[in-house]
Structure 1
Amino acid sequence: MNAIVDSRTSADLELPPKFVIPEMLSVIRPRIHTYYPVIKRLHAEWLYENYGKPEPGSLHGAIERMDSLYDAAVFPDGIPERIAHHASILTLIFQCDDLTISDPVRCEKIIAEDPDAHDARVMDALWQTIRRNAPSEAVYQRLRGRWTRWMQHLKVENAFRDNWLNEDMDSFLQVRLMSSGMQAYIAAIEYVQDIDVSDVIDDPDLKRAVDLVGWHCAITNDVYSYAAEYFTEDSVSAVRIMRNTRGLDAQQAITAVCEMLEGMYAELAGRIEKLHDRYAQHPLGERLHRYLDTYLLMVAGTLQWHIESPRYGGHGHLWNGLPMRHVDVALAFGDKMVGAGVPQQTPTGSVYVS
């Protein structure tokens, strides 16, 4: 009995909390791609072609979750068709991520590119499309290589999840950097904007900017998913690490994590400004500066998607237009929205947000 009690965290022993997610990133305005309706339509066509149309009155998870909105928000500039290609990759990445817990054998088949697995065949067809359209072989290899590395890293994240009570924030950040997927998204900027920046990607300031984008986007996800994953044992986040290592309650931990995000953004903005100056005469001209600005827009777009998407807000979630969110975990639906081609069922409850 004592061993069971001693293994619990403060979150296990408390009543489900209420907390406020404060306004973040007031210094930058998010943008959505002008052709977002086209991107959404193209993504939906791909989804129906590969997973079939749902029954009347229902939606595929990838549509209700707004996968296409995410890529339209983090890539507000770029070729619409290519953004739709990458939004489809995102759908399969969500699929693989969810399957690590619900169906690890199926997930492993995707990672192994098993030709007998439907999701793996769909993924391979997408990579063929991306290779045909990529501005260079180097960009294609960079993008595919980073997503492949992300899928292979899932095992590392699972091992970390099993022992997270023994970890601190520094060790968590190193694992989260790889699991966020933003290193692949940085490579995807080149694909959607039709450029090759192979000559600058080894710049130390740019490498640090990649890490900062990865951490910021991942931890934003941790903040907004905390309520939906509060009752699950398979989720580890910056909020849970902060609570466990510092003995904070939910609101204190949310506030502390958001302050950490502010520091990351300030450093990111400073690095990007330095890079603009350093490459003022780069042969790509304004195209390179648009590429650099996308690092900042990715952070803003990620935040906006988490505000708007039902992925963690619950089925039927609508953003009320306010920059902060009030959350009552007692009303959480207990699991996040999953599935690529699976029509979503009406839940019994939802996270309350206002």
Structure 2
Amino acid sequence: MASINFFQSRIMIFKFLIFVFICNCLSKLINGISDSHLSLDYYKKTCPSVEGIVRKEMECACLSDPRNAALILRLHFHDCFVQGCDGSVLLDDTVTLKGEKNAPNNKNALKGFRIIDKIKNSIESECPGIVSCADILTIAARDAVLLVGGPYWDVPLGRKDSRNAAYELTDTNLPTADEGLISIISKFISQGLSVTDMVALSGAHTIGKARCVNFRKRIYGDFKMTSTSMISPISSSYLSELKSLCPPIDQINGSSDNNETSMDNITPDLFDNSYYHVLLKGEGLINSDQELYSSFLGIQTKKIVEKYAANTIAFFEQFAQSMVKMGNITNPETYVNGEIRKSCRFVNT
């Protein structure tokens, strides 16, 4: 029986490797088509001060609370994975439009909208009707990372704002905390992002927080099985803290669902590679993170996690490249029907 199970597991691994190979080829094919609408000097003549304005506002936001960096970075990710980087995640619900903010994967998970509003107001005062909310969010995400110790990258600009949102796509496109590795990879590949991009972009969780509802199953499930240091008093203490923050569901009827804690419990306010060290110890807070290292199918992802844990520069370089790729995910409809919103919360009348 044991030999049969071993043989079956080898077949699964082989099939998975083929799957990953095909997916990587598809991602390269998708990204082989460059977006000619975007350029580094798009606002050179029409609003040359745009990046300076965004930087100033983000500096104030991050000085006020370093966590604001993670909020803006998450907003950008959730925007780009749903019909492209078009600012649709910023739209409020109206009588005629159902926005993405209150979709299950976004409600209570997304914040930072007021920061974008403030940046937009500052830009409109100097360059009215010129800069899209989608571009503002993309620049702000770059500056957010930089201001808490992460890498810099040049941001191609020229996006238009969508006049609609895609509530339903938030459920199908966005990775969730409890997903397995194959499903996570599939969602990244569908956006034209490779397995390497996926592991690098997941490193954004080094400054992120997770709600109890997203890690309760993990801490009362396989946390002990993946941890390589449970005999350590520090590790045991960490798990006890998590359980105190997030009691079993039958004890509190979900009232603690929105309690939060950092996904990187080492340097939560600093953008560095300690997130990958957490995974090496088997102490990733959410399942989808730990899957990158602990899944028996994660042959490729495990090596990448080890690489970034050992080499901060390699992580920073790839993260910057992957952020540009993600930022270039576009909504073709905006080239025909897109606009420059006056307010990031509402389409123009």
> Does TM-score exceed 0.5, indicating one fold?
no
TM-score grouping bracket, smaller chain normalisation = under 0.3
TM-score when normalising by structure 2: 0.26
In the superposition, the TM-score normalised over structure 1's length comes to 0.26
Higher relative contact order (CA 8 A, sep 6+): 1
